[in-house]
Amino acid sequence: MNPALANEQAPDQYKVKFDTTKGTFEVEVYRDWAPQGADRFYNLVKIGFFNDIAFFRVLEGFVAQFGIHGNPKVMEKWREARIQDDAVKQSNARGTLVFATAGPNTRTTQLFINFGNNANLDQMGFSPFGKVVSGMEVVDSLYKEYGEGAPRGRGPDQGRIQREGNAYLKEMFPDLDFVKTATIVE
């Protein structure tokens, strides 16, 4: 519950296994690609932050986004726990894992996996820090029918997810896929 305590430096390289409602995939993280992002992700996985959270924004050919905690009390503690931007050293290629932002130096807990080559995100400051190394077909199979989130689309409203958590998602968007657990495996 205290973001300030989740501050370990990540190993130079490590793997994280995601067990989801659609199956399993693994991500390999490279600290030299984006050290601040790799460190934040490492700490979030270690504390179990990604357990039982939804892929709430899954857009065909673009991204699968996740990282809003299902418990509003936990999310409240992390909402403003920002990290500084990393320089973009790798392109937003298919399968790369990236922190979402709301502008410069606003990365917190939300991530996305690129479905396609999204090199246009490179100049916008989105810095990949890892990539899917097995199970990309699982990521490709995540439920996409809700589309973009409110107010532009009919998908989940991020503000409501933060305020109401998984109760809102499971009632209003029952077909969403979830991360069951995320664990460091190497």
Gap between the Cα atoms of 184 and 166, Å rounded: 24
Q: Specify whether the backbone of 142 is left (phi greater than 0), alpha (psi in -120 to 50) or beta.
A: beta
Domain total in the chain:
1
Which CATH number belongs to the domain containing residue 70 in this structure? Answer: 2.40.100.10
Residue at token pair 């199970």: 135
Total-model pTM: 0.96
Q: Running along the chain, 186 residues long, what does each successive block of 10 average in pLDDT? A: 91 98 98 98 97 97 97 95 97 98 95 98 97 98 95 93 97 98 93
Gap between the Cα atoms of 181 and 14, Å rounded: 16
Give residue 55's domain range. 13-184
Looking at residue 157, its pLDDT comes to 96
Looking at residue 39, its pLDDT comes to 98
Gap between the Cα atoms of 118 and 137, Å rounded: 18
Looking at residue 150, its pLDDT comes to 87
Looking at residue 40, its pLDDT comes to 98
Looking at residue 79, its pLDDT comes to 92
In a domain, 1, yes or no: no
Looking at residue 67, its pLDDT comes to 98
In a domain, 4, yes or no: no
In a domain, 41, yes or no: yes
